[in-house]
């Protein structure tokens, strides 16, 4: 009996220590990521993150929001890594010392959506500026995200190429209970037809669909809402193919020199995994109803790595 009690006295504390240590290890492999709503709304993260965990043990806590808000999270040190789609703003983020390096992960493009009635007569237009100018001339209903996201940034850049007179307004948006002031440009005297709703891509698409309006969307989220849901939307692509509509995505670890508490090594490991052959292949093969949503941007490096992998592990990576 005494021997049994002695064993229990030894084993129970050890078990408790091991459990605590195991939990601590698990928590150490969790990183926080601020990302654009399109990576989540498109369903891509549901494909990538389970495979990341299998390969690396890293768990990612996702905060999906507009690119502007995601970048601000990185600036404030609220997250370990950002995954966004506004390249000029990403480069500024790094130049100002908030991020260490931008990893080019993938791209798709933006499209201008509208109802089949097409009151502005822009269907088949390949010039995005001309399409927006046509919407303004017809004073056809247009729904803007108005949330300082990458899509909203692209929309404003497009309006500035149209020749349509613009006005600039300051407004406050509410994100996670915090008010943030943003400035944005939009057509003058457009109160009757231009509606800024301050929402993510999915909600903007749904609202535009409900109102039979035009909107700007990334192609991936549009495909998800058109073909990947039980209740499809009626919106159709009106304008596509303009090089100005290119939409590259990058991942950037937050700089530990700015925020020493961030899990930089894990963030770097996550970023490196995203441009690995496996992740790039998952991105390339993610489709809905045969439609490709994203295109990998590290294909050259992926090919080089596969060649190297075949030399090192020919049984795992057989020659073509």
252 and 241, same structural domain?
A: no
Averaged pLDDT for residues 243-262: 96
DSSP H or E run through 59: strand 59-65
Cβ partners under 8 Å of residue 140, min gap 6: 114, 119, 120, 193, 213, 214
Domain CATH number, residue 78: 3.40.190.10
Using the predicted structure, report yes or no on whether residue 115 has a pLDDT greater than 90. Answer: yes
For the segment 187-199, the average pLDDT, to the nearest whole number, is: 95
Q: What residues make up the domain containing 218?
A: 109-246
| pLDDT: which is higher, 1 or 141 | 141
Q: Give residue 38's pLDDT band: very low, low, confident or very high (50, 70, 90).
A: confident
Among residues 246, 277, 293, which one ends one of the domains?
246
Q: Report pLDDT for 229.
A: 87
Q: Which has the closest alpha carbon to 61: 77, 49, 48?
A: 49
Closest CA to 266 of 23, 296, 258, 274: 274
Residues 157 and 73 grouped into a single domain: no
Residue 319 lies in a domain: no
| Same domain flag for 272 and 205 | no
Distance CA 182, CA 174 (A): 11
> Given pLDDT bands bounded at 50, 70 and 90, which one contains residue 25?
very low
| Percent of the chain with pLDDT strictly greater than 90 | 70
Residue 74 lies in a domain: yes
Residue 320 lies in a domain: no
Q: How many Å apart are CA 220 and CA 237, to the nearest integer?
A: 12
Rounded to an integer, what distance in angstroms lies between the CA atom of residue 279 and that of residue 23?
27
C-alpha R_g of the chain: 23
122 and 194 co-located in one domain: yes
318 within domain boundaries: no
Please tell me the pTM assigned to this model: 0.75
288-315 pLDDT, tens per residue? Answer: 888 899 999 987 654 555 554 444 344 4
CA angle 261, 263, 251 (to 5 degrees): 120
């Amino acid at each position: 009996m005494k021997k049994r009690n002695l064993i229990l006295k030894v084993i129970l504390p050890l078990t408790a220590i091991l459990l605590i240590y195991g939990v601590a290890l698990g928590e150490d492999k969790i990183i926080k990521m601020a990302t654009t709503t399109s990576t989540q709304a498109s369903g891509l993260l549901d494909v990538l993150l389970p495979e990341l965990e299998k390969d690396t043990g890293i768990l990612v806590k996702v905060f999906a929001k507009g690119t502007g808000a995601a970048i601000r999270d990185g600036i404030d040190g609220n997250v370990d890594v950002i995954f966004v789609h506004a390249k000029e703003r990403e480069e500024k983020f790094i130049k100002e010392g908030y991020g260490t390096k931008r990893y080019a992960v993938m791209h798709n493009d933006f499209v201008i959506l509208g109802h089949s009635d097409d009151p502005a007569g822009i269907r088949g237009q390949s010039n995005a500026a001309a399409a927006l100018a046509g919407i303004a001339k017809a004073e056809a209903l247009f729904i803007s995200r108005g949330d300082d996201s990458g899509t909203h940034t692209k929309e404003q850049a497009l309006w500035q190429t149209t020749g349509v007179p613009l006005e600039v307004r300051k407004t406050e948006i509410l994100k996670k209970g915090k008010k943030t002031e943003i400035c944005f440009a939009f057509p003058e005297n457009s109160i009757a037809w231009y509606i800024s709703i301050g929402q993510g891509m999915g909600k903007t698409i749904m609202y535009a669909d409900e109102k039979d309006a035009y909107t700007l969307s990334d192609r991936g989220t549009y495909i998800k809402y058109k073909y990947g849901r039980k209740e499809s939307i009626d919106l159709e692509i009106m304008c596509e193919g303009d090089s100005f509509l290119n939409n590259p995505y990058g991942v950037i670890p937050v700089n530990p020199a700015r925020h020493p508490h961030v899990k930089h090594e894990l963030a770097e490991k996550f970023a490196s995994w995203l441009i690995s052959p496996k992740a790039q292949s998952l991105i390339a093969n993610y489709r809905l109803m045969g439609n490709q949503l994203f295109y990998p941007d590290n294909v050259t490096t992926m090919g080089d790595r596969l060649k190297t992998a075949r030399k090192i592990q020919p049984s795992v990576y057989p020659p073509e």
